[in-house]
Chain A
Amino acid sequence: EAQVTQNPRYLITVTGKKLTVTCSQNMNHEYMSWYRQDPGLGLRQIYYSMNVEVTDKGDVPEGYKVSRKEKRNFPLILESPSPNQTSLYFCASSRGTNNEQFFGPGTRLTVL
């Protein structure tokens, strides 16, 4: 089944404790991205990747890192999480930005 998976789905952590949210797709897509969704602000792009080893900042990259060592995986890293990073996070993949974005199920992160 074609899909985008994210783990964990839910996470409660404390300020400053490094964490990684994994994202994996099995559709051989080149384009992958991370979004956060907050009430009243909609989906905002954090980082995106056009292909392996090619990443770029989105609209809200501060406090986040990503890597794209393999085509299928695009992990999101929070080196030192802060409470303002409490949000719902979505990973997405597609053949390109002109194509349908396939979203993962979301990761609900709470930073205390």
Chain B
Amino acid sequence: RKEVEQDPGPFNVPEGATVAFNCTYSNSASQSFFWYRQDCRKEPKLLMSVYSSGNEDGRFTAQLNRASQYISLLIRDSKLSDSATYLCVVAHSNYGGATNKLIFGTGTLLAVQP
């Protein structure tokens, strides 16, 4: 089983739609969680961190469920410019102390159609 699993998609949605991605992780000791966005053949860039209480940034909402070990990303009012691959990232420690390891999911491809 992969440490971080995502549905690869593609998710094809019309402009204005709401779309949600889930990501599950296997290490219950994971400490930090992130969503990154990657455009085709470009470097990943941080979209948002995911906090225990959930957090929102404009049209984007991220949530964490530690009991079920999954995180989610909700995008409202999708724009053409949201088309990209969304990477789920989990951080944990190999040595029981501060986090030192990042595990990336394989990504979910979103294609917003006009």
Give the interface of A toward B (CB within 8 A): 33, 35, 40-45, 48, 50, 56, 58, 88, 90, 96-98, 100-101, 103-106
Contact = CB atoms under 8 A, between A and B. Distances in A.
A97 B106 contact: no
Contacts of B32: 97-98
Given A40-B106, A43-B44, A98 B87 contact: no
A98 B31 contact: yes
A48 B102 CA distance: 10
A98 B99 contact: yes
Interface of B: 8, 31-32, 34, 36, 41-46, 49, 87, 89, 91, 94, 98-107
Contact of B43 (A50, A58, A90): A90
B101 A100 contact: no
Contacts of A45: 101-104
Contacts of B49: 100
Contacts of B106: 40-42
Contacts of B87: 42-43
B102 A104 contact: no
A42 B107 contact: yes
Nearest to A106: B43
A73 to B, nearest CB: 18
Given A103-B43, A105-B43, A97 B107 contact: no
A104 B41 CA distance: 12
A98 B91 CA distance: 7
A51 to B, nearest CB: 11
A101 B46 contact: yes
Contacts of A100: 34, 46, 49
Contacts of A104: 43
A43 to B, nearest CB: 4
Nearest to A33: B102
A83 B7 CA distance: 29
Nearest to B4: A42
Contacts of B104: 35, 42-45
Nearest to A98: B32
